[in-house]
Structure 1
Amino acid sequence: MSSSNGGWIDALVRPSTVAVVGASDDPKKDSARPLRFLRRHGFKGTVWPINPMRETVLGEKAWPSLADLPGVPEHVYIVTAAERVEEQVVEAARLGVKVATVLADGFAEAGEDGAEAQRRLVEKAHAGGMRLLGPNSMGAANVADAVPFTTNAAWEAESLVPGRLMALSQSGSLIGTLVSRGAARGIGFHSLVSVGNEADLDVGAIGEAAVGLDGVDAFILFLETVRRPERIAAFARAADAAGKPIVVYKLGRSPEAQALAVSHTGALVGSDKAADAFFRDLGILRVDQFEALLELPALLKGRRPDAARRSKPVAVVTTTGGGGAMAVDRLGAAGIEVEGASDALRAHVKQAVGLSLKPARLIDVTLAGARYEVMKTVLDGLLDSGDYAAVVAAIGSSAQFLPERAVQPIVDCAGHDTPIAAAPLPQADRALAMLSEAEVAGFRSVESMADAVRAFMEWRPPKPLPTDPAPEIGPARPAAVLGEADGLDLLDRLGLTTVERRLLGPDDAIPDDIVYPVVLKAVSADLPHKTEAGAVALGLTDRTALEAARDAMRAHLKTSAPGAALEGWLVQTMVRGLGEALVGYRVDPEVGPVISVAPGGIFAELYEDVAVRTAPVDLAGAREMIAQVTGLRALAGWRGRQAGDLEALARTVAALSALALDPDLRVAEAEANPVMVLADGAVAVDALVRFA
């Protein structure tokens, strides 16, 4: 094991000297567990239990305080009550301890006073050059090196399975779930860390440091939220450079984000979609099935993201027709193309083992029975062809009763350039253990298999860091929603093409030189959604129609929006496009700036047909986003329709996303909706901008 960060990562996960502050002599208490578990699992270092009320703890000499110890521990676990934590942190930092873990809760999660107490803990720790894990942390447990410095009850087990996975979890109890479920499958861990409140050491900081550990090949994350996205980004880039994949299972939505949103974008792009974009753009594989969190890493072993893979199908071979059909169905629901054996492979199998494969999407060998030579021949042919992104083997009852016939050929096929995923349909613990021991990806259900294969197919390297300069659009504004006229002016300065328009005061006369037809809009920062308020009139063909529309709108707003401050009237050239798009930018409260594109107009939120990426994006990224949106495909010339200028729309997306290059502007949301896509060009005809 090695590291290159000054030693705190080794002190965190592989210390040689530790102290437990507040260690209990009652073996039933949580505060007795760290000492018990260290002894139970064979920790070879020095343990100093600290309890000023006792001479011994669990039969071992107890010490009254950290200052009384005969040496300085590398890692201290503070398991005292919350009100005594700060004094212990101060003492540990003064003595030169490298890492302190805090078990107690009642800090940032408990309100403003707790948040202030937590801030002081970090300040006191850093003053002595010490790093802090927690508060609310169940500790760091190293299985590979027998350092279970944790209060998690999973370490009551007599033995645990070592491995090369590192788990970082915001839920302390979940590290026990991962350990127990992994042990049942023969899936082992190098170490597991409960990060707690992440007051100091967070998922990103720990992960980035742990990338340098020789004993870790991959990371799995259990997240309830995303804290400090910039540190997770640094972790992801370091892990990618080292060839150590990251798989994440994330809970949680953000109702706060929805409450703050005033744009269609805010309602359309919740924090979960933003999180999807965040992970994808950093090369982190997100799974929806908890089992896949444990199972996917084996599929990734020794592999890298590959753009060519995404254009290839997946093959499914099965010894159970119904089970194989389930696998095909789940893969199809995940958007994965499934393709059967080629003519050449079917001819080869016929000649080699006498089996006639049907020309179908499912490669069904059920009629041949569970025969080693049949499975091995078919699998070798599929894996060697180079035609598939992955091969899935769905195994029936033979996985439970005759694994040497149906599972052994899968094991013996490991090592091909094309990965293989095995999904036994019955309860087949022996088969799954065989697969784990051979480091072949085995899946307990077709649902988790399809989820993992989807994540594998979508896997891409981290998006390159932006190099373009920030746009010059003027100073930040006070927290406010801009009126449409000012919003369109801001889009102009970003380089978007906006509609020709004339801004009139509330009582200005209609100019004589307006070219009709036009659109009339009431200008008010209090009217972010004008259509709903009756503040838009379309297709006005002359001065009389324009004046009548203004009078009617003024009267209507007195009842539909009585509190709205009318700033004036916007008279715009009537633009008719081939289609409409919504392009939106927002700063997500969890992951930061994101850019989105969707079909435009008043139904944008209804269909939830949206592509989201972290901002900024370049032209290539913008084109990829547009291609993902079903409602915009007609603009590519679908079924002979006139094609819209999607390249101009891509320039619009990229230009708006450049807001992310200058966070000092404090733009919380910016939206062009609709953007009229023309045969030649794309024009933003409405804008909404909110400053934080």
Structure 2
Amino acid sequence: MNHQAIALGAALDPASIAIVGASDNKNKVGGRPLDYLKRFGYAGRVYPVNPSRSVVQGQPCFPDIATLPEVPDLAIVAVAGSAVLEAVQACASKGIRAAIILSSGFGETGDLGRRQQAEIAEAAAAAGMRLIGPNSQGLANFSSGAVANFSTMFTQLPPQDGPVAIVSQSGATSAALYTLLRLNGVGVRYVLATGNEADVTVSELALAVAADPAIKLIVVYAESLRDADMLARAAAAAKDRGIPLLMLKAGRSAAGAAAAASHTGALINEDGVVDAFFQRHAIWRATELLDIVNIAPLYLKEIRPRGRNLVVVSNSGSSCVMCADFADGLGLPMAALSATTRGRAGRALASFATCSNPIDVATALLGDSRALGAVLQALADDEAGDLYLISLPVAGDGYDLEQLAEDIASFEKTTGRTVAVSATTAATQEPFRRRGLVTFGSERQALAALDQFTRHLALTASAQAQAQAPAHQRRPLLLPPGTSAFLSEAQSMAVLADAGLPMAAHQVCFDADQAVSAWRGMGAAVAIKACSAELPHKSEHGLVHLNVDGEAAVRRAFEACRQGVQALDIAWDGAIVAKMARGRRELAIGGKMDPVFGPVIMVSDGGKYIEAMPDFVLLIPPFDAAAARAAIGALRVAPLFAGVRGEPPMDVDAICAAMVTVASIMQQNADTVASIDLNPVIVGCAGDGIVIADALIERRLPDGSAAHAFLPLNAVTEEVAQ
């Protein structure tokens, strides 16, 4: 374990704590952590520091850090912003391993605050001291009582150590998650708030808590991500231990991004890339806090279903109908029960009950409290079901809830199947919750949780398969010498053809006679395009001529390209004469280097409406052909690939192969290639392959950046009508 990890471990489980700016007032930021440490049973040594007091909250107080009798593992800094730097320097000089800065007024306030924050971070880093914050609500570890945090919610809802870790940039959101989980009966071990993240990030803390054997679920809230490699490590560590990692990443919209910038001074990530990164690493992205809170009990059961086939049992016919509708909308298939199962269930119920799936037990439970148990016994021997929803919207007087709860709990225990119960009132839910059954207030809530749970399991399995996929080794691209931001189209096509991508037949011509000769050699209509490394976007200048046929037409198109480039006063690299490629569909494939997440690959529908009606999917490499196929299947146009109305299927295998090749190229040429754009990619029938009619490579500048904010999905770079 390296020094940084040891220091972070000391922050999460310190043997001793100093509180700089300790206060007698338990409701002040400097007073609350001292109160909490005593209140929640912290057994380590605590050193209040305040030059104007000798005793704070009944404990001896020290005038400064230098006079402490030992070097504490952790310091809590709760002084005014102007005094923070001096306090951090004193802690660093003492040799303290980690410090939490509760003070605000730094990076979230603007340029001056960012400079002050950087100065504090530099002072800590120079001494090897880890820094949480500034603008942090603090850290809380309820297994040891090390509550170095000032949230008011810990007195509103008494802590209970449990299997959940909450890691959040926002202190308020960490407290809200804690509150909602505790109200739902879930124990929480860690509540960790990183604030402005001058040093320690949510990703690093997620990795740290994943090593705790008691943790069964990690929940993260973030407004920006700047250490994707660390988050990937955290996700991998969680997967290795079977710990689900749920993340609420704010800042999806422009308005949300602006709000995040003013909240924690966060840098904003491109949201589609964030989604692709989460998908690649099996991190489930929640849309709101309740998405996390409602599903947490399912994850904590540690029962993992084999599939998504659903069985619904209810004492309401309308609930049966609505559940079937909800399930269909979510893509949860209703399990096909065997005739034997249906017969056994029918014998346990009144003649008017419905024994197909959903199973409507009607009023049978009023007359026979063991009828549900008999139905569940019939279901236990049927392997068709993976998920079971027991819906009891009506269960008042006359219903033996204790017996019903006992029978459902017995079914879950003996079969190891995933069971959810929905009931409308808290009183009805109580017997089920008491027996550890996962219980919801409505069928829709329950089914949404089952859907997310099983999709997340499938995502985890897919991510593990991709992690084990063999890497595609290719030799580095040999880019032609030059300092231009882009290669010309001809250069790009030559380089990528050498890497194994199928380029359209073409010839670079420097006079009209060469162009005519090229046209004759191709024996069909051609495209004629101006070529220049200074001209990545030719269409908008009218320098692309399609379906050119006949000597006179070829000469006119060539001359128009030459004169057009001359008028723009840019370098003339000839004109490309390319055979017109024909196929079934035009797609686009692109790759770019994201400054945080590294290579990102895009596949999208093509054609001239690509920007007006975007239809794309992003992937983070490495991935194999199976993952590429799954991504292509998510496009809106995907049903066309199989062929419709008697059409033959398209060559999806060739598309997948090109995507894997582009991903490999981007990974292995990260130092030299900023982006690749293949557009259009013309797809033929199955077995006919694809033809790339246009290509563009952007160099990576010496400082590692791109020449411009290239993103194929919303900045299509070339003509698409070939």
Report the TM-score when normalising by structure 1: 0.87
- The within-5 A match list for 1:651-662 is 651-662=657-668
- The within-5 A match list for 1:21-60 is 21-60=20-59
Matching residue of 2:471:
467
- AA aligned to 2:70 is G
Contact residue 17 and residue 74 of structure 1 kept, 8 A: yes
Q: 1:85 deviation in Å?
A: 2.1
1:582 paired to 2:582? no
Distance 1:447-1:510 versus aligned 2 partners, 3 A rule: same
- AA aligned to 2:333 is E
Matching residue of 2:137:
138
- The within-5 A match list for 1:178-197 is 178-197=177-196
- The within-5 A match list for 1:352-363 is 352-354=348-350, 358=354, 362-363=358-359
1:518 paired to 2:526? yes
Matching residue of 2:650:
644
Contact residue 222 and residue 249 of structure 2 kept, 8 A: yes
1:349 paired to 2:342? no
Q: Which of the numbers 493, 503, 508 marks the counterpart of 2:508?
A: 503
Distance in 2 of aligned mates of 1:39 and 1:570: 78
Q: 1:279 deviation in Å?
A: 1.7
Matching residue of 1:336:
332
Distance 1:145-1:345 versus aligned 2 partners, 3 A rule: farther
- The within-5 A match list for 1:110-189 is 110-157=109-156, 159-189=158-188
SS at 1:469's partner residue? Answer: coil
Contact residue 586 and residue 682 of structure 2 kept, 8 A: yes
1:429 paired to 2:430? no
Distance in 1 of aligned mates of 2:114 and 2:526: 55
Distance 1:421-1:158 versus aligned 2 partners, 3 A rule: closer
Distance 1:112-1:247 versus aligned 2 partners, 3 A rule: same
SS at 1:640's partner residue? Answer: coil
Distance in 1 of aligned mates of 2:400 and 2:613: 49
Distance in 2 of aligned mates of 1:234 and 1:479: 36
Distance 1:632-1:175 versus aligned 2 partners, 3 A rule: closer
SS at 1:30's partner residue? Answer: coil
1:485 paired to 2:481? no
- The within-5 A match list for 1:303-314 is 303=302, 309=307, 312-314=308-310
Distance in 2 of aligned mates of 1:107 and 1:663: 38
Matching residue of 1:234:
233
- The within-5 A match list for 1:86-125 is 86-125=85-124
- AA aligned to 1:604 is I
Per-residue deviation, residues 173-232 of structure 1 (Å, max 9, x unmatched) = 011111211222111201111122233222222222222213212211122232311111
1:675 paired to 2:681? yes
1:441 paired to 2:438? yes
Distance 1:283-1:176 versus aligned 2 partners, 3 A rule: same
Distance 1:676-1:399 versus aligned 2 partners, 3 A rule: farther
Report the TM-score when normalising by structure 2: 0.83
SS at 1:180's partner residue? Answer: helix
Q: 1:318 deviation in Å?
A: 2.6
5+ residue gaps, structure 2, are 258-268, 700-705, 707-722
Q: 1:686 deviation in Å?
A: 1.7
Q: 1:158 deviation in Å?
A: 6.0
Distance in 1 of aligned mates of 2:207 and 2:173: 21
SS at 1:329's partner residue? Answer: helix
Distance 1:68-1:502 versus aligned 2 partners, 3 A rule: same
SS at 2:402's partner residue? Answer: helix
Contact residue 311 and residue 387 of structure 2 kept, 8 A: yes
The structure whose RCO (Cα within 8 Å, separation 6+) is larger is 1
- AA aligned to 1:317 is V
Distance 1:87-1:280 versus aligned 2 partners, 3 A rule: same
Distance in 1 of aligned mates of 2:253 and 2:546: 37
Distance 1:160-1:301 versus aligned 2 partners, 3 A rule: closer
Identify the range of structure 1 (332-341 vs 476-485) with the bigger mean alpha-carbon deviation: 476-485
Q: 1:667 deviation in Å?
A: 3.2
Contact residue 19 and residue 48 of structure 1 kept, 8 A: yes
Q: 1:123 deviation in Å?
A: 3.8
Per-residue deviation, residues 402-432 of structure 1 (Å, max 9, x unmatched) = 74355554434333433122333x2x33455
Matching residue of 2:370:
373
Identify the range of structure 1 (226-235 vs 340-349) with the bigger mean alpha-carbon deviation: 340-349
1:600 paired to 2:606? yes
Distance 1:396-1:128 versus aligned 2 partners, 3 A rule: same
SS at 2:162's partner residue? Answer: strand
Per-residue deviation, residues 130-164 of structure 1 (Å, max 9, x unmatched) = 32222221111123333322111212326223311
Distance in 2 of aligned mates of 1:590 and 1:584: 18
SS at 2:529's partner residue? Answer: strand
Distance 1:115-1:445 versus aligned 2 partners, 3 A rule: farther
5+ residue gaps, structure 1, are 259-269
Contact residue 346 and residue 355 of structure 2 kept, 8 A: no
SS at 1:480's partner residue? Answer: coil
Distance in 1 of aligned mates of 2:118 and 2:484: 27
Distance 1:662-1:536 versus aligned 2 partners, 3 A rule: same
Identify the range of structure 1 (190-199 vs 610-619) with the bigger mean alpha-carbon deviation: 610-619
Identify the range of structure 1 (244-253 vs 358-367) with the bigger mean alpha-carbon deviation: 358-367
Distance 1:3-1:41 versus aligned 2 partners, 3 A rule: farther
Distance in 2 of aligned mates of 1:507 and 1:105: 69
SS at 1:385's partner residue? Answer: coil
Matching residue of 1:622:
628
Q: 1:65 deviation in Å?
A: 1.2
Per-residue deviation, residues 225-257 of structure 1 (Å, max 9, x unmatched) = 32311111111111111222212222223769x
Distance in 2 of aligned mates of 1:356 and 1:591: 59
Distance in 1 of aligned mates of 2:109 and 2:474: 39
Distance 1:348-1:409 versus aligned 2 partners, 3 A rule: same
Distance 1:543-1:220 versus aligned 2 partners, 3 A rule: same
Matching residue of 2:264:
none
Per-residue deviation, residues 41-64 of structure 1 (Å, max 9, x unmatched) = 333333222111222323433211
Matching residue of 1:537:
545
Distance in 1 of aligned mates of 2:72 and 2:172: 26
Matching residue of 2:260:
none
Contact residue 599 and residue 632 of structure 1 kept, 8 A: no
Per-residue deviation, residues 647-679 of structure 1 (Å, max 9, x unmatched) = 221111100111342364353332212211123
Matching residue of 1:266:
none
- AA aligned to 1:29 is K
Per-residue deviation, residues 15-47 of structure 1 (Å, max 9, x unmatched) = 232121112233332232211222333333332
Matching residue of 1:318:
314
1:685 paired to 2:693? yes
Contact residue 603 and residue 659 of structure 2 kept, 8 A: yes
Percent identity between the aligned chains?
Answer: 28
Contact residue 72 and residue 95 of structure 1 kept, 8 A: yes
Identify the range of structure 1 (179-188 vs 605-614) with the bigger mean alpha-carbon deviation: 605-614
Distance in 1 of aligned mates of 2:304 and 2:402: 32
- AA aligned to 1:512 is S
Contact residue 348 and residue 375 of structure 2 kept, 8 A: no
Per-residue deviation, residues 543-566 of structure 1 (Å, max 9, x unmatched) = 2223334566788999xx979877
Q: Which of the numbers 380, 391, 397 marks the counterpart of 2:394?
A: 397
SS at 1:11's partner residue? Answer: helix
SS at 1:38's partner residue? Answer: helix
Identify the range of structure 1 (390-399 vs 226-235) with the bigger mean alpha-carbon deviation: 390-399
